[in-house]
């Protein structure tokens, strides 16, 4: 007799990123006469800052995945259905912790998709471990959140790869493009401090001069830090540096934060005459396709390292069904939230339909390791429960008609730890 768990393992390769008709077996969990509804959580910033534009899209992606899973289960005659309980963490670690506790006590969730940033993830870990809630953040990349699987920590990160990969991709790109002097603006939070520490060490070892300028999240204005950056650039340029080998790196996060920094930088002759680099959070059309930031980003040849998404049927399916449901394209990295929701539901089904955090934790590793989703890359978790595969694109802002877009000028392969620049 074939067990329900065995059946699940057989169909995982079929159902990930799938629509109705992929055939989830009714034997995934014991059939009963009554429908059993299992609620998963979605914890994202929906208000309160520049990350809300991402949080809303991530939340929609989770709801889309749940709708598709439910349609598959119904078509197969299975009585399990999923629901989503959402909460707004407002981009605050403390609010995130309170919101997760509320989702647990009110909606009885045992797995949550989110939070968005590493700082918010850090804020919920104590609650998650105490109440045995599996946390699957789509975009948390901080190396400080690496915990060996042997610790039985409830944080599992099959989403974007860790900051050590982006740090390597960013540093190698800056070095290969001939930089010698670096003005490095970075956000003092769990993730971007890690990226700064990792990438600046690599650049310093390679002989580059790096001036780090730290700023706090959610400032009203970043003019003071931009003024310091302008002064540092002037010093480099007056001390033998050139506009070709002196650059700025911006490890910034929220869209409103980026807009404020760029607006202040536009008025600096020094900062507007040298090349800029940035992290994946800046790779968003709401910046580079919008005046006045887009034209300025193009003028400074703004170059970013951003997680690679490869063309695949799952990728196409996610984007087309998202647009059909919501009438808009998903924000960048929403596919990670979508994939994590699928992984969560598959893990619950593998656990026999038991909405129990410990049971879900025991199956989520296998569910993730056999998952190929809308990112176009397979998932394999390392011993720290985070994505092992790391592929990044190197993109540059260029004009496109009356606006700006990005083109790929290179790539990073985490397996070989190498950046290859190909030009635009």
One domain, residues 34 and 93:
yes
The predicted structure's pLDDT at residue 371: 93
Statement: residue 50 has pLDDT above 90:
no
Please state which of the ranges 33-37, 233-237, 320-324, 337-341 shows the lowest mean pLDDT.
33-37
Give the pLDDT band (50/70/90) at residue 32: low
Query: Of 39-43, 48-52, 342-346, 420-424, which gets the smallest average pLDDT?
Result: 48-52
Q: Given pLDDT bands bounded at 50, 70 and 90, which one contains residue 159?
A: confident
Q: Which residue has the higher pLDDT, 36 or 141?
A: 36
Q: 424 falls in which pLDDT band (50, 70, 90)?
A: low
pLDDT at residue 289 greater than cutoff 50: yes
130 pLDDT higher than 60: yes
What pLDDT shows up at residue 241? 97
pLDDT of 1 > 70? The answer is: no
Mean of the per-residue pLDDT values for the chain? Answer: 90
Banded model confidence at residue 173, pLDDT cuts 50, 70, 90: very high
- What pLDDT does 389 receive? 77
- Sign of the torsion formed by the C-alpha atoms of 56, 59, 63 and 69: positive
pLDDT of residue 251: 93
> Residue 378 falls within a domain, yes or no?
no
Q: How confident is the model at residue 44 (pLDDT cuts 50, 70, 90)?
A: very high
Phi, psi (degrees; rounded to nearest 5) at 214: -90, 140
pLDDT number for residue 421: 97
User: Does residue 20 carry a pLDDT above 60?
Assistant: no
Is residue 306 a part of any domain in this protein?
no
Tell whether 151 and 208 lie within a shared domain.
no
28 with 82, same domain: the answer is yes
What is the number of residues in the chain? Answer: 424
Examine the pLDDT at 14 and tell me if it is beyond 50: no
pLDDT reported for residue 83: 98
Q: Does one domain contain both 170 and 143?
A: no
Determine, yes or no, domain membership for 111.
Answer: yes
Least confident of 6-15, 150-159, 352-361: 6-15
Confidence of residue 374 (pLDDT cuts 50, 70, 90): very high
Residue by residue, DSSP assigns 12-80 as: HHHHTT--TTS---GGGS---SS-EEEEEEEEE--SSSTTHHHHHHHHHHHHHHHHHHHHHHHHTT--E
- Would you place residue 423 in the very low, low, confident or very high pLDDT band (cuts 50, 70, 90)? confident
Count of the separate structural domains present in the chain: 2
Q: Which of 8-12, 48-52, 119-123, 340-344 has the highest mean pLDDT?
A: 340-344
346 plus 288 within the same structural domain? no
Measured CA to CA, the distance from residue 424 to residue 409 in angstroms comes to 5
Residues 373-382: what's their mean pLDDT? 87
Give the mean pLDDT of 301-309.
Answer: 92
List Cβ neighbours of 203 (8 Å cut-off, separation of 6 or more): 171, 174, 175, 179, 182, 210
Asked if 8 and 45 sit in the same domain, the reply is yes
In a domain, 377, yes or no: no
Say if residue 139 is in the same domain as residue 28: yes
The Cα–Cα gap between 312 and 56 comes to 24
% of the chain beyond a pLDDT of 70: 92
Residue for token pair 């998404």: 309
Measured CA to CA, the distance from residue 163 to residue 192 in angstroms comes to 8
What is the per-residue pLDDT across 94-114, written as a single tens digit (0 to 9) for each? 999 999 999 999 999 999 999
Q: Comparing 339 with 378, which gets the higher pLDDT?
A: 339
Q: Does residue 383 form part of some domain?
A: no
On whether residue 142 sits in a domain, the answer given is: yes
Assess whether 55 and 198 both reside in one domain.
Answer: no
Does residue 386 lie in a domain region? no
Residues 179 and 89 in one domain: no
- The parent domain of residue 84 ranges over 4-160+312-369
If asked whether residues 89 and 190 sit together in one domain, one would say no
- Percent of the residues in the chain that have a pLDDT greater than 90, as a whole number: 72
In terms of domains, do 81 and 37 share one? yes
Which pLDDT band, with edges at 50, 70 and 90, does 303 fall under?
very high
Q: Report the CATH number that the domain containing residue 198 is assigned in CATH.
A: 3.40.50.2300
Same domain, 168 and 154: no
Residue 237 within a domain: yes
Q: What is the pLDDT of residues 218-241, one digit of tens each?
A: 889 999 999 999 999 999 999 999
């Amino acid at each position: 007799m074939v067990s329900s768990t065995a059946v699940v393992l057989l169909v995982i390769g079929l159902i990930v990123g799938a629509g109705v008709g992929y055939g989830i077996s009714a034997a995934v969990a014991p059939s009963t006469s009554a429908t059993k509804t299992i609620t998963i959580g979605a914890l994202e910033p929906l208000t309160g800052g520049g990350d809300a534009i991402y949080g809303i899209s991530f939340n929609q992606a989770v709801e889309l995945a749940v709708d598709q899973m439910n349609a598959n289960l119904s078509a197969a005659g299975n009585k399990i259905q999923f629901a989503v309980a959402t909460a707004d963490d407002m981009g605050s670690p403390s609010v995130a912790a309170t919101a997760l506790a509320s989702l647990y006590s009110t909606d009885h969730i045992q797995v949550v998709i989110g939070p968005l940033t590493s700082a918010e993830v850090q804020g919920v870990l104590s609650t998650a471990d105490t109440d045995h809630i599996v946390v699957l953040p789509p975009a948390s990349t901080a190396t400080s959140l690496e915990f060996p699987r042997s610790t039985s920590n409830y944080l599992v990160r099959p989403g974007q790869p860790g900051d050590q990969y982006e740090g390597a991709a960013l540093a190698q790109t800056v070095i290969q493009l001939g930089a010698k002097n670096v003005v490095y603006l970075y956000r003092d939070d769990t993730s971007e401090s890690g990226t700064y520490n990792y990438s600046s060490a690599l650049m310093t070892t390679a002989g580059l001069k790096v001036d780090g300028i730290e700023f706090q999240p959610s400032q009203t204005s970043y003019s003071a830090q931009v003024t310091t950056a302008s002064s540092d650039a002037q010093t480099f340029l007056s001390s033998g540096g050139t506009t070709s080998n002196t650059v700025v790196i911006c490890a910034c996060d929220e869209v409103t934060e980026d807009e404020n920094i760029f607006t202040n930088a536009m008025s600096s002759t020094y900062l507007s005459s040298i090349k800029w680099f940035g992290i994946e959070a800046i790779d968003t059309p709401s910046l580079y396709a919008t005046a006045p930031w887009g034209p300025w980003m193009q003028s400074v040849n703004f170059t970013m390292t951003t997680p690679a998404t490869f063309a695949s049927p799952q990728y196409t399916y996610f984007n087309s069904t998202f647009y059909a449901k919501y009438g808009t394209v998903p924000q960048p990295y929403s596919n990670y939230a979508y994939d994590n929701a699928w992984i969560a539901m598959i893990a619950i089904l593998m656990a026999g339909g038991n909405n129990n955090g410990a049971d879900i934790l025991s199956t989520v590793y296998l569910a993730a390791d056999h998952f190929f989703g809308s990112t176009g890359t397979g998932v394999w978790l390392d011993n720290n429960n985070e994505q092992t595969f790391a592929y990044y694109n190197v993109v540059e802002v260029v004009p496109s008609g009356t606006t700006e877009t990005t083109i790929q000028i290179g790539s990073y392969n985490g397996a070989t730890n190498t950046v290859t620049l190909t030009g635009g």
